[in-house]
Amino acid sequence: MKKLIAALAASALLMSAANAQQVPAPQIAARSWTLLDVTSGQIIASQDADMRIEPASLTKVMTAYVVFGALRDKKITLDQKVNVSVRAWKVDGSSSKMFIDPATPVSINDLLYGLMVQSGNDAAVALAEAVAGDEGTFAHLMNEQAQRMGMKNTKFANPHGLPSPDNYSTARDLSILASHVIKDFPEFYKIDSVKEFTYNKIKQQNRNRLLWLDPTVDGMKTGHTEASGFSMIASAHRPNGTAGERRLISVLSGATSDGNRTAESQKLLNWGFQNFDTVKLYTKGQAIATPEVWKGSKSTVKIGFPNDVLVTVPKGVAQKMKPVLERKDPLVAPLALNGRVGTLKMMVDGKPLLALPVVSLEEVSEASIFGRAWDSMRLWMK
């Protein structure tokens, strides 16, 4: 089942090059970037999305994810007070901090706001120690999560993103991470939209300037080091016609300034919303055909998809799509539930736009020996 879902997700990304060229990608002033439609799981456009980058404080998105998991599993609680270690207090003094103090225990809740709103490197260390005991063990948890998510070109060396040769990622991988935060922990994700936070009588603003400029943006994180330049993950949700809401995530790295990364992220999001639609093609369990089954306990089988099928296409293309079903005929029992039985190709102007694996929506066992013999003879004569 997991392999099938993965195949569905992968196939949904098979937008043809000819069709994609109808909407030229914008010129983005960054070394690497990608734009993901979270609703369909589809990368709309990208540039050097798999180039290794230094994630800087974008690392904190994974730090937060691991902490959210620990909260979900009740290993820690939001109101739990933790002692501040000297290591956390002394973390690179020239970097961003929330200014925790070894003399004052701090709650997990405050640390999360210090992490995501103030981008506190001291908060990152304190959270890592609270969850795993030390930064090294916490980094191991971060890498385990990255592997589970399919972040194939990512490795974390620390919870804050301060420069290390063993701390790297890609724009594509970071878009995967960002979508998991939003889908897996929607309540905690709301922290990312907070514009300012005060701790230790020090008020600091969220560095995500889009929170002030675009009311549809509700996250997620900025980063900066001398080597990597200015980076940003931004997410926005806007109406999607009759299909409800639609969410996009932009990731860029290598911008030249704070203002530049803000403007370029806004450009990407606007371009994606203005030029593409996300449409629902089929509903989970919807039978798209009922073909004949040979040598089975049933004469026919319902076929379709194990999940809703949503795709992102250039505006105006959805009305032109025509389905063409290619089956693995003859369908011979036994047929397993969710076993692949064919492919549905969505065609536009006679060219395939995408291909979707079609599965059996019900199990069909073998017929009796007499039924199998009769169908064998029928197949031979066919």
List of residues 6+ apart from 277 with CB closer than 8 A: 240, 241, 243, 312, 313, 314, 315, 317, 318
Cα(154)–Cα(146) distance, integer angstroms: 7
> Could you say which of 32, 40, 46, 57 is catalytic?
57
| Annotated catalytic residue 60 | yes
Largest CA distance in the chain: 87
119, 179, 228, 265: the catalytic one is 119
Phi, psi of 217, rounded to the nearest 5 degrees: -85, 130
> Who's near 90: CB < 8 A, 6+ residues apart?
none
Catalytic, out of 40, 46, 60, 265: 60
If you search the block for the tokens 């914008």, which residue do you land on? 26
Report the number of secondary-structure helices (H) and strands (E) in the chain: 12, 18
Phi, psi of 295 (to 5 degrees): 60, 30
First-to-last CA distance in the chain? 33
| The amino acid at 17 | A
Active site residue 365: no
Instruction: Clarify whether 57 is annotated catalytic.
Output: yes
How many Cα neighbours within 13 Å face the side chain of 55? 33
- Which tokens belong to 336? 């397993």
Task: Give me the active site residues, please.
Answer: 57, 60, 119
